[in-house]
Chains A and B, each alone.
Chain A
Amino acid sequence: MSVAHDQNTSLPSAYDLPLEDIDVSIAQLFQTQQHFEYFERLRKEDPVHYCKDSEFGAYWSVTKFNDIVEVDSNHKIYSSDKTIVIGDADPDFNPPMFIAMDQPKHDVQRKAVTPAVAPVNLAKLESHIRENVCEILDGLPVGETFDWVDRVSIELTTRMLAILFDFPWEDRRKLTWWSDVTTSNPAQVGADASIVNEEERKKELMECLEYFMNLWTSRGENYEGTDFVSLLATNPDTMEMSNDPLEFLGNLMLLIVGGNDTTRNSISGGVLALNQNPAEYNKLRANPDLIPNMVSEIIRWVTPLGHMRRTALEDTELGGKKIKKGDRVVMWYISGNRDDEIIDRANEFLIDRDKARHHLSFGFGIHRCMGNRVGEMQLRILWEEIMKRFEKVEVIGEPERLCSNFVMGITEMMVKLHPLKA
């Protein structure tokens, strides 16, 4: 175990460390944004890198785009069983969820809930989302300074989730809370700023389970809905899940977290990126048709989930390195998305970039993000409506960032709105 790193002491430059001592799992690196330099060095000097000792144990870092695609699409060798983050699962409390399962069980459960986010259902959701986007934007205080994360990013993703779960509207912020509780587990992702202790975490999640159990019982048998809960409750392959409450909870946590932090931070990150790149903001004003392409570029730029972890099921080779059975293998999407051998001018935010969809943020292979189209749709609609109303969403001061090696998060970002000139 290495010592805990104090948030206030800055970490050494990547180039001042011996290569073998580089440990990119330290959560503070992401908060201070130094991780980019660390990954740049690894991509150049040791793209498949072994760190022999970290807070989470020894692990391999996969940092180049193509190596990441190779690991992600090779599910027979690189297993997702039990955990998909760098830290191991808590053996006493690890609710099973299909993102952390291998075939065949993964496939069965994923298929059961996919219809909620399939294209037919999305078309129905579009107008609903737009109404909510308009309502949120029209309620913002023009000319005043306020927190965009709370008023827009969190509010919109929470409403979206409430719709996808057909969740009681007035209780919707519970979803946000359960999501935050789930992702702030320090033993798994190094989030120092844990919001609850271990006991409280379990208690909160058990409350979440109970809440959904009630929803579930009210939706069995003849209920016809295309929300996540109804789909699980009525699909013959998953309806038995209520007999295994922990597995039900696990999949709920997955669906809550999957669609929450990710979209939330893309919403905040996009505003920030446009502020940092005024020429790109001008391009957008001149041509709002760039929005769909910009959405992909925002998602690449932000890379809402910094990594996914696999466990090697057999001895294998990757990028000339010998990986042993049982080794932790971490795919750093946040690094692969800046690999300039694959992505032209990878360190620049370019809203009209060619092949913008060719990024790693949704992962690849059988676990590729199930909600990618919903996420993109939310961002597209949001930006369409922002551009109809505001000349600029101006970021005031420096945003606050989350301390985590998994969720690339912005926790607070003050902004001021400038309405369109009449």
Chain B
Amino acid sequence: MPSVTYIEADGKEHKVDVAPGLSLMEGAVNNLVPGIDADCGGACACATCHIYIEPDWHGKTGTRNEMEQSMLDFAEGIKDNSRLACQIKVTDELDGIVVRLPVAQF
């Protein structure tokens, strides 16, 4: 199973296995990784699953879709590598991916 590393804002790392087909949001929530609220349950409608993709992986995760862009527009601390975790599906190609969590979801 692909491995995913979530790094909390204070540097704490969580390395977990996530089945292909699940989203990075589900990977965090199912493994009790703190820092992702996912209030809308993955509908791209709340922006409380905001993450930063580490530079090495940025190119492999695709680009923001239109709704995702709109939702990110109102979130806090948005950077070029900001994404909504519910919009990225885990695949074998993403095995080893590293993502960072913001200080707080907003």
Interface residues of A (CB under 8 A from B): 69, 72-73, 75, 103, 107, 110-111, 114, 118-120, 355, 357-358, 362, 364-366, 368, 370, 373
Q: How many A-B residue pairs have CB under 8 A?
A: 50
B40 located at the interface, meaning its Cβ lies under 8 Å from any Cβ of chain A in the complex: yes
Residue of A69, A75, A366 touching B43 (CB-CB under 8 A):
A69
Sample (24) of A-B pairs whose CB atoms are under 8 Å apart: A69-B40, A72-B45, A73-B67, A103-B70, A107-B73, A111-B73, A111-B74, A118-B106, A119-B106, A120-B76, A355-B41, A357-B48, A358-B41, A362-B39, A364-B40, A364-B45, A365-B45, A366-B70, A366-B71, A366-B74, A368-B47, A368-B74, A370-B74, A373-B106
B1 located at the interface, meaning its Cβ lies under 8 Å from any Cβ of chain A in the complex: no
Q: Which residues of B contact A107 (CB under 8 A)?
A: 70, 73-74
- Taking a contact as CB atoms under 8 Å apart, the answer to whether B74 and A73 are in contact is no
Q: Which residues of A contact B106 (CB under 8 A)?
A: 118-119, 373
Which residue of A has the minimal Cβ distance to B106?
Answer: A119
Q: Which residues of B contact A362 (CB under 8 A)?
A: 39
Q: How far is the CB of A117 from chain B (nearest CB, A)?
A: 9
Which residue of A has the minimal Cβ distance to B37?
Answer: A357
Q: Which residues of A contact B47 (CB under 8 A)?
A: 368
Cα(A120)–Cα(B106), bound, Å = 11
Cα(A110)–Cα(B47), bound, Å = 15
Q: How many residues of B contact A (CB 8 A)?
A: 20
Cα(A366)–Cα(B74), bound, Å = 8
Q: Which residues of A contact B71 (CB under 8 A)?
A: 365-366
Q: How far is the CB of B26 from chain A (nearest CB, A)?
A: 12
Cα(A406)–Cα(B70), bound, Å = 27
B44 located at the interface, meaning its Cβ lies under 8 Å from any Cβ of chain A in the complex: yes
Cα(A358)–Cα(B106), bound, Å = 15
Which residue of B has the minimal Cβ distance to A357?
Answer: B39
Please report which residues of chain B, range 67-106, place their CB below 8 angstroms from some CB of chain A when the two chains form the complex. Answer: 67, 70-71, 73-74, 76, 103-104, 106
